[in-house]
Amino acid sequence: MPLKIVLMGTGNFAVPTFRELLNSEHTVVGVLTQPDKVGRGHHQHLNPVKELALAKAVPVFQPERVNRSEMLDTLRSLQADVFIVAAYGQILKPELLAIPRLGAFNLHGSLLPRHRGAAPVQYAIWKGDSITGVTVFRIEPSLDSGPMVGRVETPIGDIEKSGELMLRLAELSVPLTLNVVRQLEAGTAVFERQDSTFVTLSPKILREAGVIDWSQSSREIDCHIRAMQPWPKASSVLHRHDQPPLRCIVSQVSHVADESLSAGHETPGALLEHHSRLLVRSGDGWLEILKLQPEGRKATDGRSFINGYSLKKGDRFAAAE
């Protein structure tokens, strides 16, 4: 018998799965998504989950606090068999989790128990993982700790950024979720407990996490820069002789394999123009800066930056002004 489903999600990560659930034999009886956000000039940010729900005439609920008694009553009235949660953004308390007959299940963008928390996709790149994936698990009160019922793996590309990986994982979630729902419907789902000895955490990323530490290895810096895109973006402050400090967003770097540069004694963050390439010293070598954006200016490549800014010996990137 087809299931009645409540979907809980807000960002683009939830959209592909939501769209396919709408096209399946199951019925999405309601959608919970975060309240609308209003930006500068009273401009309302588009919520792709809400837009899709309205287009398909699915009831939309946007509670400030999902665990309040009136929202719990509303959820009970929907008589859903299962809740599917994907990047919703609110903690679900036990009283809410007890409502659906078959339970509430979360689509998590990592291979649990690695990278539990709010930013698993970013941390997978930041920490240099070679593979990641999506895990579907039954939600329990403690953080991302419930038994797993399905997972899919994928390699992380050498130059892949968090935003790109997020979109790929969203698409990979579709067949995985449909299969889990099918198993729940048939009563054939197999649950696997998470091994707590392999737990790592991926807490919410704050703006200051984007500051580049040039004393790290070239690989660590590259992973950090890719992980911070599209937000908060990796940045550093350029210090030049007789010039005010200039904050720059650094969006792409490449490791430099040039033995002639290895004998230098420059400190991490030191800049060097080498054969029209913009190089910066890391903790274990040199990186070429391929793309960067000075504050208040358009993004540019390293060569154009060299042509537009007079660099001298001693100029450097550092964490603060």
How far apart are alpha carbons 86 and 38 in whole angstroms?
A: 22
How far apart are alpha carbons 53 and 60 in whole angstroms?
A: 7
Mean of pLDDT values over 152-157: 98
Q: In terms of DSSP bridges, do strands 4-9 and 27-32 run parallel, antiparallel, or are they unpaired?
A: parallel
* Residues 67-92 pLDDT 10s: 999 999 999 999 999 999 999 999 99
* Residues 197-208 pLDDT 10s: 999 999 999 999
pLDDT score recorded for residue 241 = 86
pLDDT score recorded for residue 242 = 86
Q: What share of the chain is helix, strand, coil (3-state, %, to 5)?
A: 30, 25, 45
pLDDT score recorded for residue 257 = 83
Of 120, 80, 112, 111, residue with least CA distance to 97 = 80
Give the contacts of 156 (CB within 8 A, at least 6 positions apart): 124, 125, 129, 130, 131, 132, 165
The residue assigned the tokens 């609920």 is: 61
Q: How many residues does the chain have?
A: 321
The model's confidence at residue 37, banded by pLDDT at 50, 70 and 90, is confident
> pLDDT above 70 covers what percent of the chain?
95
CA angle 143, 148, 153 (to 5 degrees): 105
Tokens of 76: 């009970």
Q: Which of 42-51, 184-193, 304-313 has the lowest mean pLDDT?
A: 42-51
Does position 182 have pLDDT exceeding 60, yes or no?
Answer: yes
pLDDT score recorded for residue 310 = 84
Q: What is the mean pLDDT of the chain?
A: 94
Mean of pLDDT values over 92-114: 98
CB atoms within 10 A of CB 234: 23
Does position 41 have pLDDT exceeding 60, yes or no?
Answer: no
The model's confidence at residue 46, banded by pLDDT at 50, 70 and 90, is confident
Does position 42 have pLDDT exceeding 60, yes or no?
Answer: no
DSSP 267: P
The model's confidence at residue 266, banded by pLDDT at 50, 70 and 90, is confident
How far apart are alpha carbons 66 and 237 in whole angstroms?
A: 41
Mean of pLDDT values over 16-31: 98
Does position 229 have pLDDT exceeding 60, yes or no?
Answer: yes
Alpha-helical runs (H) found in the chain: 15-23, 48-55, 69-78, 94-97, 120-126, 162-186, 218-227, 302-308
Q: Tell whether pTM > 0.85.
A: yes
Phi/psi-derived region of residue 225, left when phi > 0, alpha when psi is between -120 and 50, beta in every other case:
alpha
pLDDT score recorded for residue 261 = 76
Does position 313 have pLDDT exceeding 90, yes or no?
Answer: no
Q: Higher pLDDT residue, 20 or 41?
A: 20
List of long-range contacts for 203-209, beta carbons under 8 Å, 24+ apart: 203/117, 203/118, 203/119, 204/117, 204/118, 204/119, 205/118, 205/119, 205/122, 205/231, 205/232, 206/232, 207/232, 208/232
